[in-house]
Structure 1
Amino acid sequence: MLGAGAGAGAGTPSADAEPAAAATSTGPPSSRPPNILVVYLDDLGYGDLSCYGSPMIQTPNLDRLARQGTRFTHGYAGHTVCTPSRAGLLTGRVPPRAGLPHVLFPEDTKGLSADERTIPEYLKQAGYTTTCIGKWHLGSQPEHNPTRHGFDHFFGALYSNDMRPFQLWRDEEMVEDPVDQSTLTRRYTEEAIAAIDRAGDDPFFIYLAETMPHLPLAVEPRFEGQSEAGEYGDVVESLDHYLGVLFEALSTRGLDGNTLVIVTSDNGPWYDGDSGPFRGRKIGTYEGGLRVPFIVRWPGVVPRREHDFPVTVIDLLPTLCSYAGVTPDPDVRLDGTNVRRVLEGRRSVPRTPIYYFDDNDGSLAAVRDGGWKLHVQRQDGTTRRLPELYDLERDPGESYNLASRHPDVVERLAGIIDEMEAELAPA
């Protein structure tokens, strides 16, 4: 069952309206691999865009992007918190398997291992220029720098904006301290446009990991007081504005037709923000912690539609490798699914389960397979009424525990959890 669609945000020019299109695809427009732009917003909730139902935040540029491509209603982050979510995206592996099950802090010496294979490392094999812009949060030691993990260029911060020291880096050199955070969204956009131009005739991969709307919030004066949703809304509307500038840069350079754009979030909302119709928020393993906006556009390839197939950022590595014509290392165990056929119009493909890990101890707290989701533990460690089984197709708010009615489903999903825990257990 497809989720209910939300109208475009107020203030969107009528000239931007898109005609209805069938959910079909004619395939890539050329044999050249596509440019790829992945935008990873920070702590943006499922309900924080007007195209996902926000009545108070207006996001006309992202609304237009959603009308031009596929708006997924079952999109998932890689984890419920920053570091492991990013590890899952870049490696295509669940965060504990990638060695980063918890949030990193400035004093930590741990980071992304040199043994992990990342999206940019694979794409460089196909001739891509690769750029990381914004929040890294996968380690601060020299060996953890993005330039040591497949990125040709890096401009951004090594940690979250509530951690100290909060500095800006260019490649492996610290270039700014202190940082005026109100300028970051604009400056990241400028860096992304420069990366597009720097690529020349080569295909590019840009990973734009925005600092906002993670707390503390900061916005340029021109956006202050703009949104009905307070300062948080001002920040989201600023992000929408500058992403519109970036999308326009693609268009004016004639690159829309061969650029795959993906916009999503690293987890659900923290203290501010809207998790939509879902229970829970960031850190928790109810749907509000992982269910996020997920918009994909590639004109002529990705159809204009709303789709309820479950997709996760952990799927990006095998999917993007498929588009680049690169085969992931067969000796590396991936947890994501190649969803290329779904992006191009297929109703569904067989997919791996979606796993929900507890940030406190790194344990596997829940699993989704098909429309069913099983919880075997809670964030606070209590066991009252566990296990909890929910039919996410009929009960997306996880309000009605059906475990006693479907013991066979509980047993099957518990077996999936046992298998994954056995795989992740230390040798």
Structure 2
Amino acid sequence: MKRQIVRCLASRRYSQWTLRYSQWTLRPTVVLIAALFVAHCFVVDSYAAVTSPPNVVVIFIDDMGYADINPFGGTKYPTPHLDAMAANGRTFTDFVVSSAVCSASRSALLTGCYHRRIGISGALGPKSNIGINADETTLAEVCRSKGYSTAIFGKWHLGHHPKFLPTQHGFDVFYGIPYSNDMWPLHPDYLARRAKNPNTKSPWPDLPMISSTRDHGYEIVNDNVQPSDQEQMTRQFTEKAVEFIHQNDDHPFFLYLPHPMVHVPLYVSETFRGKSGQGLFGDVVMEVDWSVGQVVQAIEDIGATENTIVVFTSDNGPWLSYGTHAGHATPLREGKGTMFEGGYREPTIMQWKGKIPAGTTCDKLCSTIDLLPTVAKLIGAELPEKKIDGKDIRPLLFGEQDAVSPHDAFWCYYKGGELQAVRSERFKLMFPHAYRTLDGREGRSDGLPISYKMNKTALSLFDLDNDISETTDVKEKYPEVVKELMAAAEQARKELGDKLTKRTGSELRAPGKMAEGDESMALNW
């Protein structure tokens, strides 16, 4: 900071002065101006006096609800490592994802774009022939451009064929599963149906575990993942993450740790089985919490705590139809698969010792799409050439006084291109559409789902500052807000289209596709 002040003073020719306090005979007004000027130098460099590019760690949980960890919900099971992360960092209470479903959400995180813009919707499965386009620039590629080591351990879910694997999109190392852990012939739901009808055929092939490096291609290290393997995944991916951190103790790195848990079917290691006293879901969350602790400890072990930003968040809300095997979004409405707040507002914590103010909370609207441009600014990297939707949220990250959300409007797309809502910092305009709901019913306790029913919402305006549960339509009270958000929706439809109003967007980009001749490179698991 002293060097920065000197540079700031020198730039205004203060270096020509010989400043001796005993010789100053300035009037009080001049002294005040000088003091304000020096204070301004601090503000100019207010981004936490970042003197070297930080390591970047993103821990991405699958299907975790807003209230599933103690910093957000006060659970009946302990989450001590996430509690410590919140105490040492900053919680974000209005942090949202692009879509309330797996692949779409992950594509937005890694590209800084609304998933709709880059052609990724829903959850890609083993029969899918698309993936993230090679023309898109990922967060890993942004980091690699500045010489970072990059790795992913866990669930990818952005295309399972070799041309779509992470090592084709900026990652040096990948070890994990290509899509969700329930896309698997041993899913309990399928096994229950087969028990009733032995002739029932599995909709899924065997689930593989893949190891891939940028220089040496890929190999299938386990072509038929079993329940015993799933029990070890959280621990296994954590151990590989810790090893990667230690391997890069003197080199900048980007670590992406997208855990398959707490997505159903739930599995936990013997160490945590029964430990929560709150059922299998609590056990699984406790193991995820342990994983966070291991990663944070590894960063401390290599002496990089003050030069590493750690982000913890989730891809979407809880899969409520699975009852006690799903989490909770209380007090938010609904969950995964809807663009109500419970579907796309996620429990988020960020930690960076000495930079992010400890024990603080940010209630401003921001999103996973903001991570790429923010990290790019932090490490001095160029932004992607193609248009992105994310914004630099460093003022929010560092708790700057009077910092505001960079998003005048956030577009809530779901279900293959339906613009279901548009929101601002305070208000959310929901458009008429069908959505799934349990409608107050309780789910089961055996890991099997119950059926949703379909409801339809009317055009509604919700005041999220005063009605976070989205219970009361206030469009008649705030007609000017409706008008503003309608205009934002029109811009969304112009750029990205809208299935509900049969609009075709002018700025849509195609996903990567298996082209003619790629068949020889296809992996049909």
- Alignment TM-score, normalising by the size of structure 2: 0.74
Question: 1:26/1:300 Cα in 2 relative to 1: closer, same or farther (>3 Å)?
Answer: farther
1:13-52, aligned counterparts within 5 Å? 27-28=47-48, 31-52=51-72
Equivalence map 1:242-321=2 (5 Å)? 242-271=291-320, 272-304=326-358, 305-321=360-376
**Which residue number in structure 2 is paired with residue 134 of structure 1?**
154
Match of 2:414 in 1: 358
1: CA distance between counterparts of 2:210 and 2:116? 27
CA change 1:148–1:411 in 2 (3 A) is same
| 8 Å CA contact retained: 1:29, 1:258 | no
Structure number with higher helix proportion: 2
| Counterpart position of 2:223 | 177
Report what 2:114 is aligned to: 94
- Of residues 489, 493, 503, the one that matches 1:417 is 489
| Residue deviations 1:280-330 (CA, integer Å, cap 9, x gap) | 10001110001111100001110120121112101101001000101213x
TM alignment of 1:77-226, pairs within 5 A: 77-164=97-184, 165-171=206-212, 172-179=218-225, 180-226=229-275
Q: Distance in 2 between matches of 1:384 and 1:53?
A: 29
Please identify, of 254-263 and 219-228, the stretch whose mean Cα deviation from structure 2 is larger.
219-228
Q: List alignment gaps of at least 5 residues for structure 2.
A: 1-42, 185-205, 213-217, 321-325, 437-453, 497-503, 507-525
C-alpha contact (below 8 Å) 1:339/1:349 kept by paired residues: no
Whichever of the two has the greater Rg, that structure is 2
Q: Distance in 2 between matches of 1:385 and 1:162?
A: 30
Distance 1:358 1:377 in 2: 13
Does 2:475 correspond to 1:403?
A: yes
Q: Is the 8 A contact 2:493 2:505 kept in 1?
A: no
**What are the Cα deviations for residues 73-107 of structure 1, in whole angstroms up to 9, with x where unaligned?**
11112310000000000000000101102211100
Distance 1:229 1:295, change over 3 A: same
Residues 198, 237 of structure 1: alpha-carbon distance in 2 compared, 3 angstrom cutoff: same
Paired residue for 1:373? Answer: 428
Alpha-carbon deviation of 1:58? 1.3
Match of 1:234 in 2: 283
**CA distance in structure 2 between the partners assigned to 1:367 and 1:60 by the alignment:** 36
SS at match of 1:32: coil
CA offset digits 1:312-360 (Å, max 9, x no partner): 101101001000101213x41111111011111224235222222122x
Give the AA of the match of 2:308: T
Task: Classify the secondary structure of the residue corresponding to 2:117.
Answer: coil
Percent identity over the alignment is 37
Structure 2 SS opposite 1:222: coil
The one-letter code matched in structure 2 to 1:128 is Y
Asked whether the equivalents of residues 154 and 175 of structure 2 are also in contact (C-alpha less than 8 Å), the reply is: yes
- Structure 1 pair 43/385, CA: closer, same or farther in 2 (3 Å)? closer
